[in-house]
Amino acid sequence: LRLEAGLLSCMGMQILIGQLDPLTEQQMMGICGLQHSSEQAEEALAQGLQQLHQSLADTVAAGTLNDGTPGPNYMAIMAIALEKLASLESFYQQADNLRQQTLHQTRRILTTRQAARCFLSIGEYYRRLRALSSLWASRPRENFIGTESLSPTGTELQGMQHHHQPQQNQFSGF
């Protein structure tokens, strides 16, 4: 599980900057500073989350014997695991706060027109990620079992392209 707390990844910010009207030097410095601070906060959250996941896995594993049956301290260990799960919510609240702060700071740095274009681009970015995720989730599972091909055939690709045509961005003339 990857925690993407900030507005966009480093790569996403670079793509986004290319979509905006020419930025002033002050705006570019503001965006770079925001990107840097967001990356640091996101990395700290991701490291904490990774440590929590490992601790949770260790706790759950400690609750079973080698044969998979519950050990003598099973209930106590599961109570500890539940406490650790509760702290998981805190990580996601912090990530959401970081996302909101990044959006507010972005709006302060950019002009109204630039911010509108920025937020529309972000919406389009996430729309495409959802479409890709949906396409990935709906792929035939039998292609990954046995010796069958791992990639779709040409006719399968044509079918996917037909059903998943990218929509023309209605705001491209912004």
Domain ranges of the chain: 10-134
Task: Please report which confidence band the pLDDT of residue 135 belongs to, taking 50, 70 and 90 as the band edges.
Answer: very high
Q: Does residue 35 surpass a pLDDT of 70?
A: yes
| Residues in contact with 44: Cβ distance below 8 Å, sequence separation at least 6, in sequence order | none
Q: Does residue 168 surpass a pLDDT of 60?
A: no
Helix/strand/coil for 64: strand
Q: Which of 16-25, 55-64, 118-127, 165-174 comes out lowest in average pLDDT?
A: 165-174
Q: What percent of the chain has pLDDT over 70?
A: 66
Q: What is the DSSP letter of 70?
A: B
**pLDDT value at position 2?**
43
How far apart (Å, rounded) are the C-alpha atoms in residues 34 and 23?
A: 14
Task: Please report which confidence band the pLDDT of residue 78 belongs to, taking 50, 70 and 90 as the band edges.
Answer: confident
Please give the structure tokens belonging to residue 85: 């799960």
Q: How far is CA 119 from the centre of its chain?
A: 17
Number of other residues whose CB lies within 10 A of the CB of residue 120: 16
How far apart (Å, rounded) are the C-alpha atoms in residues 46 and 41?
A: 9
Q: How far is CA 70 from the centre of its chain?
A: 35
Q: Does residue 150 surpass a pLDDT of 60?
A: no
| Residues in contact with 84: Cβ distance below 8 Å, sequence separation at least 6, in sequence order | 52, 55, 56, 59
Q: How buried is residue 42: exposed, middle or buried, by Cβ count under 10 Å (0-12/13-18/19+)? A: buried
Q: Which of 10-24, 52-66, 119-133 comes out lowest in average pLDDT?
A: 10-24
Backbone angles phi, psi at 148, to 5 degrees: -70, 165
